[in-house]
């Protein structure tokens, strides 16, 4: 079957998106998703998304990692699918959609490429030997370093991702360098991609939260990634919980086309 697709990117984190409101493409197999996302034998992307209809919402975001398996929340993917919805003709200034970790709100400025995505609230994080574990819709390991742009992120990220107790379920690994009270540099090794990505929305959010510069109240952190800049805004309360979290940055369509897909083996 020939399937129409669009490819979008948010600070270099790229995704293949398919309009599945008709439910025609629900049964794309893991093997086919993996092939389509392959950068040598397919289109090439960090992830694959179906835009589904969902009662009570503007749409549902069904996300798959580039290895073909169902993924957890993807922040840059959420921003890209909001832009995709707008380009499909679902013209709204604000969207309410459902993802794997619950509902999200996205705000779009039709006059620019900036998409603001509201992330789930975070109740806190764990500190482990100077490192941090936090869930922002996906699980993240955060390690502070002094020379993040000189690191072998794949080597060090792989070692942490496949160490105990993370090997079975996997964890995303973020390396952070602080540049000031409100600016950080982040590089991320992503599970499911099993490689460094140019940007990771939930990872950027996790690092910005850990790097809060106000004890309580409003925080606004600029995050530099290999693919560009993002801004994370949030409120921090006295009990170390975080709410009103927004991931803000660009999301743009790269191109669109048709891809031949074998629909015989359904996704479990």
The CATH number of 2-109+252-260, from 4.10.80.40, 3.40.50.1980, 3.10.310.10, 3.50.50.60, is 3.10.310.10
Q: Where are the domains of the chain?
A: 2-109+252-260, 126-250
Q: How far apart are the first and last CA of the chain?
A: 20
pLDDT value at position 264?
64
Cβ atoms 208, 214 nearer than 8 A: no
pLDDT value at position 265?
54
Of the residues 37, 80, 200, 207, only one is catalytic, namely 200
How far is 76 from 87, CA to CA, in rounded Å? 17
Q: 126-250 has which CATH code?
A: 3.10.310.10
Q: Tokens 């995050």: give the residue.
A: 223
Question: Between 75-87 and 201-210, two packed helices, what is the crossing angle to 10 degrees?
Answer: 130
pLDDT value at position 262?
87
pLDDT value at position 267?
46
pLDDT value at position 70?
96
pLDDT value at position 189?
98
pLDDT value at position 215?
86
pLDDT value at position 110?
73
- Spans of the chain below 70 pLDDT: 264-268
Of the residues 37, 74, 80, 211, only one is catalytic, namely 74
Q: Which of 13, 8, 47 is nearest to 226 (CA)?
A: 13
74 is catalytic: yes
Q: Which of 23, 31, 14 is nearest to 62 (CA)?
A: 23
pLDDT value at position 61?
98
pLDDT value at position 112?
87
List of residues 6+ apart from 112 with CB closer than 8 A: none
pTM: 0.95
């Amino acid at each position: 079957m020939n399937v129409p697709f669009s490819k979008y990117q948010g600070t270099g984190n790229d995704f293949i998106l398919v309009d599945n409101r008709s439910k025609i493409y629900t049964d794309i197999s893991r093997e086919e998703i993996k092939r389509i996302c392959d950068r040598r034998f397919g289109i090439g992307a960090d992830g694959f998304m179906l835009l589904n209809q969902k009662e009570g919402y503007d749409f549902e975001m069904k996300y798959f990692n580039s290895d073909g398996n169902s993924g957890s929340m993807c922040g840059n993917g959420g921003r890209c699918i909001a832009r995709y919805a707008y380009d499909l003709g679902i013209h709204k200034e604000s969207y309410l959609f459902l993802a794997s970790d619950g509902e999200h709100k996205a705000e779009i400025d039709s006059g620019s490429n900036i998409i603001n995505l509201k992330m789930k609230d975070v109740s806190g994080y764990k500190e482990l030997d100077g490192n941090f574990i936090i869930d922002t819709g996906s699980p993240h390991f955060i390690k502070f370093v002094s020379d993040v742009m000189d690191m072998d992120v794949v080597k060090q990220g792989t070692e942490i991702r496949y160490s105990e107790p993370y090997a079975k379920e996997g964890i995303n690994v973020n390396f952070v360098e602080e540049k000031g009270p409100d600016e950080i540099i982040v590089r991320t090794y992503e599970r499911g991609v099993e490689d460094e990505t140019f940007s990771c929305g939930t990872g950027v959010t996790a690092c910005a939260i850990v790097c809060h510069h106000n004890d309580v109240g409003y925080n606004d952190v600029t995050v530099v990634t290999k693919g560009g800049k993002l801004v994370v805004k949030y409120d921090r309360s006295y009990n170390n919980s975080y709410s009103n979290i927004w991931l803000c940055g660009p999301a743009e369509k790269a191109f669109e086309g048709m891809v031949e897909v074998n629909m015989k083996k359904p996704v479990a």
